[in-house]
Structure 1
Amino acid sequence: MSKIDLSGLRTAEQKAAESARIEQQRINAEARAYLASTDWYVTRWRETGQEVPPDIATERQAARDRVIDID
């Protein structure tokens, strides 16, 4: 009788956890990309004192709030 390799099988819970992890990685990447693209506002503020526009500051905080360390 041949043996069947079941080592690659995953439970529904494992699949759901993997999907959630992948989705959070996507969210993290998107949020970090936004932060990187707007870092210059913070640099300008620190170097010249010119304030970061309120809408940018609000969205940067929202982006930081979306990032969850999953490693």
Structure 2
Amino acid sequence: MALRSWQSNWNELAIYFKYPQEIRTLIYTTNSTKSYNRLLRKITKSKSIFPSDYSLYKSLYLTTMDIYENMKIRL
């Protein structure tokens, strides 16, 4: 299924590989940043009110640590 997807979309995918490695790395970095922000929004959206700025910072910090631990496991 994945191979068929690559074959049917090769014209669009080939454009990506024409970029220099530095640009492709930036694209990956942007995707990672978007993913990280999405996970932080998921945490802050589930709680409508934080009692203080400190509680918000702490929640974001703990979420960041969880994300980091999950990344280490996958690597």
Q: TM-score, normalised by structure 1?
A: 0.43
Higher RCO (CA-CA < 8 Å; seq separation 6+) = 1
Q: TM-score, normalised by structure 2?
A: 0.41
The higher radius of gyration belongs to 1
